[in-house]
Structure formats: C-alpha cells, structure tokens
Amino acid sequence: MIGKGKVGCQRGRQVADITAIHGVTRPLIHVRSVRRKLDIIQSNPSAHGGRGALPSEGGSPSDLLFLAGGERMMLRIKRVPTVVSNYQKDEGEDAARRGGGCGRNCLQKCCIPGAKLPLYTFKRAEEIPGDKCVLEHDDNQAPVAFLDSLLLGQWEDRMQRGLFRYDVTACETKVIPGRCGFMAQLNEGRHLKKRPTEFRVDKVLQPFDGNKFNFTKVGQEEVLFQFDASEDGEVQFFPDAPVDADSSPSVVAINVSPIEYGHVLLIPRILECLPQRIDRESFLLALYMAIEAGNPYFRLGYNSLGAFATINHLHFQAYYLAVPFPIEKAPTRKVTTLGDGVKISELFDYPVRGLVFEGGNTLQDLSNAVSDACIFLQDNNIPHNVLIADCGKRIFLLPQCYAEKQALGEVSSELLDTQVNPAVWEISGHMVLKRKKDYEEASEENAWRLLAEVSLSEERFEEVKALIFEACSYTLSEKEDEHLTQGAGDDKPPLEGTGSINKGRNCNMVSGTQECLVLQ
C-alpha cells in the first residue's frame, strides 16, 4: 500500500506532458501550449480552461428505428462506429472460433478469479472543492495530484506497449479563428477498420445485452486501475489489489481509439453490467474522479443512448486538453437556485442550448441535482450529453436532437457527409473531423452551423427546462419530507428517479434574478 503522493513504480513518477512528442516523457507541468509534431496551439488559460476533453462516440451504417408522430418508420442513417477496446473488433467472430474458454485475460467469470489490478481509493468529501483547480492567469505551476500522475503514467505505459489503435499525438489539431475558439482535430484513422454496429436512436433507455460488446470483455491490460471509495477515509494506492467480483469494482480503462491525450473510460461497478443510464451513485463517482484528478485540464463527459453513445454499458469518458473549451467560456444567465443551494444557469450566446449546475451546500447536493435532471431526461426519452468541468465544480447538461433530425431527414447532406456525430466533446467545442477537406476548411461558421442542428428549439428547450426544474424541486421536497417522517420513526425509503414529477407541485426553488449575465 502506498499513500497519496507516492506511486509504486517509476512509470507513475514519470508521466508524459502533452507538449511531448510520442515517446518522450517528462514530469507533468502546467502547460501553456499543445505541441503536435511541428504544429503548436497556443492556449488561452482562463478560470475554466483546461487540458481534458472527451471523445465523441460514433456509430456505423445500420438500419435504425425511430418513433415519430406515433408511427414507426424504418429509416437508414449512416453512422461512424467507434472501437473503444481492442477486443471489440471482430468480437463475434473470435467468440465463434474460441468455442470454449476465453484466453483473453478479460473481466468475465472465466478470467476474474485470482485477478489483481492496481487500486486507488479516494476519501469521500462533503464539501465542493475549492479554487485549487481554477486556472490562474500567471505562470504558477498547478499542483500535480496523485491520481493525475497515476492516470497519466499508466496511460503512457499502455501507449509504449502499443495498445492504442493509432498515435493520437500525431493528429493535427488547431484552434479555429473566431471569438468562440472552437478546436478542430483531424483524426482520419478513428472511423476506419470498424465493423458495423446496429444501434437504435429512438430509445434512450435500452436493456443491457450481454451478447453484444461490453466492458467485461476487455483485456485486463487495458484497465489502468480500480477506483473506489476508501473504507478508512484515507486516500491510498495499492499496486496489486485483488479484484473482488462480489463488490463489482469501478475501473478506469484506456479508450484504444483516443480523441486526445490521456483518453480513458470510467466504468462504474463494471461487473454489474449496468446499461448506459445515469444513477445517483454512478454520477457521484464521476464527480469524485474529477475532484481527485485535481486538474482543470481534465474533464469527464457522458453521452446517453440517442446522443451518440454506442456501447450500452454504463461509462463516462475523460481526457486532457490544454485549451479552454468554448462552452466553458460561454456566457451564462442565472435561472434559479434550488433549496439546497445548487445554482442553475442557462447558456447564452452559444449554438447549443443547455444548463449549467454549480454550487450547493454539499457535493452530494450538486451531484443529486444533476443526476435527477438526467434521470428525468432519460425517463422521458430525451437524449442528452453531460460535461463535468472545473474539477467537478461546474456541470453542463445538454439535451439534444441531432439523431432525431437525422432520422427525419432534416439534416443537410453537406453536414451528414462530414460523418461528425456531435457528442459531448463536439458540443463542448472540440470538433473531431474525419476528412482532411473538412479540417482544412474548418471555420467558426461551419462549427456553429453543425452545433445549431444539435440544439433543441427554443420552445422545446423551455418546456424541457421547466420540467427539469420541477423534477429537481420535487425530489428536494421529498427529501425534506423524508427527514421529517424519519424523525417520527418512519423508515420511508428515499425517492428514486423523477417519475413522480406530475404527482405534486411542491416547488422548493428560490427564483434567481433573470437576465443576470455572467461572462466567463
């Protein structure tokens, strides 16, 4: 066992700075630029800029069902698949050849007995993290957190071992001229060599299917470490800890088709085989990972089904990027403050309409507000994306309808030809482009036009926003009633989900000042 600040291997102490060319390592520092081959992108550090963003999840040519106007229509949508594990490609054919036994050293029953993986345990916190993660406008180095060093060291190790499908550090990247600062990356190899994957866009909630690819089928060498709460309240690292199948550990694994440096997957309670849907416990785990990394350049993202998640096994994505995301710099307008102190604002002057959650009396309050909003969206079949920024202090919730428009033939062929599926990273302003033509012609106007197709209409967004507020406030009211009832000796269980939002009008919100513009 090793305490915080000490990594049990040399690889953990020497991590790759994202200014490094492939194969060159150096201690992690507060970077001011991103260097790729001969291209340099100058960053513009701000209080909400950082070195981390998540990849979009694609699809593949397939027949998709979409429910519109009460009638089922069979519609064909060309989608670009994403391989996130080396064992995803041709997995069906390999299984047929194997017959009995696995031989992959995977995370299923065949290989898990006796397995050992590194374990990082975090201390549960009540308070929302302070300003240690906020980028300053001076040359002071940001503190290097232990988890940050561990993650980067392990990721770099997997890169040296050749586990990734391509060298993402060789991908051309640039900041698109304009006031928003959209970023473009040319990643021609990410959508190649992919097998077609059937994927429905008409349902946000779909049952887990163990016959399809899921993260229990990845090789253990792709797992960086287990990530769980400490039992004794101390941050600890165990280089070689047994995998307890009964407790179903959460794990951090590489994405073998990375969008950026340090691109990883957080898979909550992996052996429970949870479908891609938010729950309170899993979302709080994602917030803890953002806090433990302690790096404003590291962000986590979530894509629901219907919003370009392609693996129906609960996971978050995360990566580093040393420039502010345009969405982080976008102005916001305060809408309301919940009774537990969580402030909800609305994005202003940005192509995609969305909400921003921050504050709260406790970290649990902030986490519950966002997760309850997500639960409402998924229960009402509204696709959405989530970006966790500022070390967990700010969360962007972005309902979207691009796949719906695709199915209805409402997206121009010009946009469809780009094969860009706007998931959390694209919506946040990091455009991953597959064609050199699109990269060379990238402009703020083109990026804005694509993202505008993602957004709900103003009328529809206002309806969804009102129902989200009602769902959050109803949950708060139920929580208060629970405390009162339990005081009288009743063991009333906590409210699960937000399916009961129409059962009452217990509004427990404190209205915020309208038109309060916040410029980042």
- Euclidean distance between CA atoms 516 and 356, whole angstroms: 14
List the catalytic residue out of 30, 315, 384, 430: 315
Compute the distance between CA of residue 198 and CA of residue 64 in angstroms, rounded to an integer.
8
Distance in angstroms (rounded) separating the CA atoms of residues 498 and 369: 11
**If you ran DSSP here, which 8-state letter would residue 131 be given?**
G
Q: How many C-beta atoms lie closer than 10 Å to residue 39's C-beta?
A: 11
Give, as one character, the DSSP assignment of residue 455.
B
Backbone angles phi, psi at 121, to 5 degrees: -110, 135
Q: What angle do CA 88, 92, 96 make, to 5 degrees?
A: 135
Copy the structure tokens of residue 148: 């940050």
CB 329 within 8 A of CB 296: no
Tokens of 134: 């906020």
Q: Which residues pair with 344 in a beta bridge?
A: 336, 357
- Helix, strand or coil for residue 13? helix
The beta-strand segments (E) located in 135-259 are 173-175, 183-186, 223-229, 236-242, 251-254
Name which of 231, 223, 230, 181 is nearest 429 in CA terms.
181
- The C-alpha atoms of residue 239 and residue 120 are separated, in whole angstroms, by 8
Coarse DSSP helix, strand, coil percentages of the chain, rounded to the nearest 5 percent = 30, 20, 50
Closest CA to 388 of 375, 373, 370, 402: 370
Identify which of 172, 150, 108 has the alpha carbon closest to the alpha carbon of residue 5: 150
**Using CA atoms, how far apart are residues 318 and 52, in angstroms rounded to an integer?**
7
Q: Say how far apart CA 286 and CA 343 lie, in whole Å.
A: 20
Torsion sign across C-alpha atoms 153, 154, 157, 159: negative
The partner residues of 2 in beta bridges, in order of sequence, read 237
Q: How far is CA 21 from CA 129, 148, 254, in A?
A: 33, 19, 19
Within a 10 A sphere around the Cβ of 116, how many other Cβ atoms? Answer: 13
CA 506 – CA 116 distance, rounded (Å) = 49
Annotation says 384 is catalytic: no
**Which of 252, 265, 256, 264 is CA-nearest to residue 225?**
252
Question: How buried is residue 84: exposed, middle or buried, by Cβ count under 10 Å (0-12/13-18/19+)?
Answer: buried
CA dist 334 to 363, 473, 475, Å? Answer: 20, 16, 21
Catalytic residues: 315
